[in-house]
Amino acid sequence: MGKIKVVVTEEGEIKIEAKEGFEGKSCQEAIDFILNNLPTGFEFAELETIRHGNFSIVAENPQQVYTQQD
């Protein structure tokens, strides 16, 4: 079990953050799992950044950018 916090700002920035309960790669897998199962045809704005953290790892994670694939 783990918790993910999702924040969507008015400027279209999406932040996804691991809150608790994740170890190893499970958080990334959970985030990827949601992103990979978004409805067919759904697209968000052109410039979106996604940040994620993991409370179990003391390290700065750089901001990540997602773009739609053609």
Partner 1 sequence: MSTTQKISIRGLKIGEDQLELLGETVTELVGDAGTVTVKEKGSEGLQIRSRHAVAVNSKFADIKIRFHGANADVGIYVGNDGQIDMAWDGYVVRGNETLKQAFEGRADRHTFEKNLNAMFVAKTFEETAIRKGFVSSGIKRVSLQKEKMGQFELELDTGFSNAFSGDEQKNTLSGSLGGGF
Summarize as ranges the residues that interact with partner 1 (CB under 8 A): 1-12, 14, 19, 21, 24-46, 50, 52, 54, 57, 59, 61-62, 64-69
Q: Within 13 Å of residue 65, how many CA atoms lie on the same side as its CB?
A: 5
Q: How far is the CB of 55 from partner 1 (least distance, A)?
A: 11
Question: Distance between CA 41 and CA 5 in Å, rounded?
Answer: 24
CB 25, min distance to partner 1, A: 5
Alpha-carbon span 14 to 23, nearest angstrom: 22
The distance of closest approach from Cβ of residue 22 to partner 1 in the complex, given in angstroms and rounded to an integer, is 8
